Amino acid sequence: MPAPTRRTLLALGALTGLQLLCGCTDDHPAEPKPTAADPDRPLRLRQLAATDALLADYDVVLTAAPADADRLGNLREDVARHREALAGPLPSPSAAGSAASGSASASVSASGSASPAAGPAARTVAELGAAEQRTAALRLADLAAASPELARTLASIAASDAAHAAALGDTTAPAPAPSPSASASAGVLPAADTAALQAALAAEHAAVYGYGVVGAFLPTGPQREDARSGYSAHQARRDAWQRLLAAGGASPTAAAPGYRLPFAVKDPATAAQLAAHLETQLTAAYADLAATTALREQAAAALREAALRAAHWGADLPALPGLAAAS
């Protein structure tokens, strides 16, 4: 059916006026259906306020450190993408053209909820790294209260914030997430949680295999030690997921008899590329796991670690690690 033209709309308006003049009141316009309230709205507003503050910090440091303009500009673009992802269904303010306009901050202030991530304004690159760490902590603080989709987004953005902080020189280790075996209930996991955990386990099986290949092509030295550390970390996480699934009554996914590598590994350079690829693949599995009910905190920690390792091995991380469709 063709869309009504402006002429048609004007005619309809005139007809409505005529009916009113004639006293024809039999037909009443249907009342608009109320739109469902977004349960994530308070969280989105708080997160947007923190993101706007971080964008403002970038602007200050970019002005003070023009020599770092390219590097900082790329990181700031990621933060602007974070803002877009967090805004979600919120109505766009009239000043939406400016990512750091403070519109979200004003909305949060109006609602009486201040951002707990507030800290001293950054003036140097080092202070900007600390601001990224504080903002990452805020993402994780809202994880439990968020809807599954927002939780997935928050976990991804927190991982990106942590990678930014590391790139800016702040390698402060966050508080470790509770052990999966200690924090999760021994009861049966929901079906969706089990499926996401099985997918994460399968990805860990592949990572353990892949790191074996990586180590074989690296000479003795720091890189090989990094590969050994990654191999051990993935073994430990694989074992933890197997125990958790078994405790919940599920049969843990077994490792495949063999794995096809995405490309030929023949020297240290391609070995490092494989390590970066493995970690990048893991970010997708853990972004999905972050949407579950019982394992969000552990999934977010695993996503952050995978993103940091991927960047360490030379991966060009997207603004939203693990969320390929949005990146």
User: What are the start-end ranges of the H helices in 168-267?
Assistant: 180-183, 191-216, 222-247
Read off the pLDDT of residues 5-53 as tens digits, 9 standing for 90 and up: 444 433 334 333 333 334 444 555 566 565 667 899 999 999 999 999 9
Give pTM, 2 decimals: 0.80
pLDDT tens string 130-176: 999 999 999 999 999 999 999 999 999 999 999 999 999 988 766 65
Task: With cut-offs at 50, 70 and 90, classify the pLDDT of residue 88.
Answer: confident
Q: How far apart are CA 2 and CA 21, in angstroms?
A: 30
294-298-304-306 Cα dihedral, nearest 10 degrees: -110
Distance between CA atoms of 248 and 151, rounded to whole angstroms? 23
Show Cβ contacts of residue 37 under 8 Å, excluding neighbours closer than 6 positions.
none
Within 10 Å of residue 163's Cβ, how many Cβ atoms? Answer: 24
Structural domains of the chain sorted by starting position, each given as residue range(s) with its CATH number in brackets: 41-89+98-167 (no CATH), 180-326 (1.20.1260.10)
Instruction: Assess contact for 44 and 84: CB atoms under 8 A.
Output: no
Smallest Cα–Cα separation from 160: which of 84, 105, 224, 69?
Answer: 84
